[in-house]
Amino acid sequence: MNSQLGFKLKILWYFLQYTLRGTFRNRAKLERFQQRKWRKFRRKVLTRSPFYQQLADAHAALGEFPTINKAGFMANFDAINTLGLKQSEAMQVALQAEIARDFSTELKGATVGLSTGTSGTRGLFLVSPTERAQWTGMVLRRVVPLRLFKKQRVAFFLRANSNLYSSVQSASLEFRFFDIFQPIEQLIQALEVFQPHILAAQPSVLGAIAEAQLAKQINIKPQLVISFAEVLNPEDKAFIQKNFSAPLREVYQCTEGFLGVTCAHGTMHLNEDIAIFEKKYLDETRFIPIITDFTRSSQPIIRYELNDILVEKPEPCPCGSCFTALERIEGREDDVLIFPGSNGEMVKVFPDLICRVIARSTDGFRAYRLRQVGALELQLELETEDFQDVASIISNALHVFLQEKGIKGLIIQCKQEIDRKAGEKLRRVEQKIVSK
Ligand SMILES: [Zn+2]
């Protein structure tokens, strides 16, 4: 059997598996399902990982395995992966692929991706063809509505590592990969020619496409818009929806996996049938997810602590799914702002709260970025025509909000225009203080 055909059959196999699985409506049943998956994963995969082998052989419960963060994950790369790959050789292949923009080189049957990550440490991710097929099957099943007799064109905007995504070309779907490191004007022209039925991109790119549509530079009529990879905030969501009369689905996806997707009611649900999400609570509803993914066998992801802050929805979703429902994804734990309070204590301010203050104060801007650069210094970069007015409205609102929290003596510096590099994720609130 040729490998292309084998690959497509695998996608189909996983697609059917996820279809047959249906919707979990019962939490106890889901937890039993997860435990079965976990035991199988421990036996089949973790016994082949030098890092986890001992615990796996001893049938240790998940809670006995160590939690790991990105830095620990990279420091133990050689021992964690099940392919016997060394970090130095994988890094070399990944860097070469980035430079040549050719991601087809395989090492022991796996492609190597580099996560450029914003948190400092560079991550290396291994993906085998089977994992790729599984990922595709899941995404197709959960995100893309299939129409059997009509070919659908899917435009996928991505940074780097095309391999994972550009692999699907079948009777019912045609995937086109748009590299977001190319100038956006060129990409938009190519998109106009392609005329996608489904448009999938990160929010900042969707925003740029919506702007081009508004300015009548292009005229596309997608039937579905998919937002993934970054947090989609309410202003961007409204702007995108205003310019395309198509439903908008959000995918919560990062190098660490396919983590969640919105249901028909617009609620983001965690994919708890492919991963266990332990919750490290920050308050009653906010938590940091710690994930154990059953779909990653080249490089097992076990009790991996993500950098994101998620907010749980208190009431169940009307769709009936028992997968954890999220109110929203707030952003990165790294970006929590910390200020000295009036009594010498440290005051934490979640990025999402700052975004709400800004959104409430005015809508006279297209984009902004707020950075904490010193203990009592914020930098506000704004894209707007009435820079002076908008900047003073927003800084006043922030001063009032932060003073209520006991933070005084704050300096807010405003700057017109955002320094944006091509392909860079726009983080609205950033903590830039280097702690030493
Ligand atoms: Zn739902």
Q: What is the pLDDT of residue 165?
A: 45
pLDDT at position 106: 83
Strands (E), 300-408: 301-305, 308-312, 325-332, 337-340, 346-349, 367-374, 377-383
**Residue-range definition of the domain harbouring residue 35:** 1-332
Q: Are residues 13 and 57 in the same domain?
A: yes
Q: Is the pLDDT of residue 67 over 90?
A: yes
In terms of pLDDT, which residue wins out, 59 or 20? 59
Q: Do residues 285 and 424 share a domain?
A: no
Indicate which CATH number applies to the domain containing 315: 3.40.50.12780
Q: How far is the CA of 7 from the centre of ligand 1 (A)?
A: 31
Q: Could you say which DSSP state residue 68 is in?
A: B
Residues 272 and 351 in one domain: no
Quote the CA–CA distance of 142 and 261 in Å, as a whole number. Answer: 7
> Do residue 226 and residue 309 come from a single domain?
yes
With contact defined as beta carbons under 8 Å apart, do 83 and 109 qualify? yes
Same domain, yes or no: 34 and 92: yes
The pLDDT value recorded for residue 420 is 67
Residues 149, 237: one domain? yes
Cα distances (Å, whole numbers) of residue 67 to 48, 308, 342: 19, 15, 36
How many angstroms separate the alpha carbon of residue 277 from the centre of ligand 1? 17
Mean pLDDT (the chain) is 83
Ligand 1 centroid to Cα of residue 378, in Å, is 38
Final residue belonging to a domain, choices 267, 300, 332: 332
Mean pLDDT confidence for 379-395: 86
Both 387 and 320 in a single domain? Answer: no
Rounded Cα distance between 160 and 124, Å, is 13
Enter the tokens of residue 332: 């990165």
Q: How far is the CA of 326 from the centre of ligand 1 (A)?
A: 9
Rounded-to-integer distance, Cα 228 and Cα 209, Å: 15
Write the pLDDT tens digit of every residue in 349-361.
877 778 778 877 8
Instruction: Calculate how far, in angstroms, residue 189's C-alpha sits from the geometric centre of ligand 1.
Output: 36
Lowest mean pLDDT among 190-204, 367-381, 384-398, 416-430: 416-430
Examine the domain organization and report whether 360 and 377 are in the same domain. yes
Confirm if 428 and 355 have CB atoms less than 8 A apart.
yes
State which of 311, 332, 353 marks the end of a domain: 332
Judge whether 40 lies within some domain. yes
pLDDT beyond 90 at 60 = yes
Q: Which two tokens stand for residue 212?
A: 């081009």
Give the Å distance between the CA of 80 and the centre of ligand 1.
Answer: 35
In-domain check, residue 59? yes
Q: What is the CATH number of the domain that holds 427?
A: 3.30.300
> 332, 363, 388: which is the final residue of a domain?
332
Q: Tell me the per-residue pLDDT of 203-254, one tens digit each, with 9 for 90 and over.
A: 878 888 998 999 999 999 999 999 886 667 777 788 888 888 888 888 888 7
Centre of ligand 1 from the C-alpha of residue 269, in Å: 6
In this structure, what token pair is assigned to residue 248? 């908008």
> Reduced to 3 states, what is the DSSP secondary structure of residue 428?
coil
Please tell me whether residues 14 and 146 are part of one structural domain: yes
Distances (CA, A) of 167 to 55, 138, 175, 200, 250: 36, 14, 8, 15, 21
**Statement to judge: residues 197 and 94 lie in one domain:** yes
> What are phi and psi for residue 285, nearest 5 degrees?
-120, -25
pLDDT at 435: 37
Region 54-70: mean pLDDT is 96
Mean pLDDT of 17-40: 89
264 C-alpha to ligand 1 centroid (Å): 7
Same domain flag for 100 and 62: yes
- The total of structural domains in the chain comes to 2
Distance 261 CA to ligand 1 centre (A): 9
Pair (6, 135) in one structural domain: yes
Computed over its alpha carbons, how large is the radius of gyration of the chain? 22
Are 202 and 157 in contact by the 8 Å Cβ rule? The answer is: yes
Lowest mean pLDDT among 180-184, 270-274, 422-426: 422-426
pLDDT digits (tens, 9 = 90+) for 129-182: 888 888 878 877 888 776 656 778 888 887 644 444 454 556 667 778 787 767
Distance between terminal CA atoms of the chain?
A: 57
Asked if residue 436 belongs to a domain, the reply is no
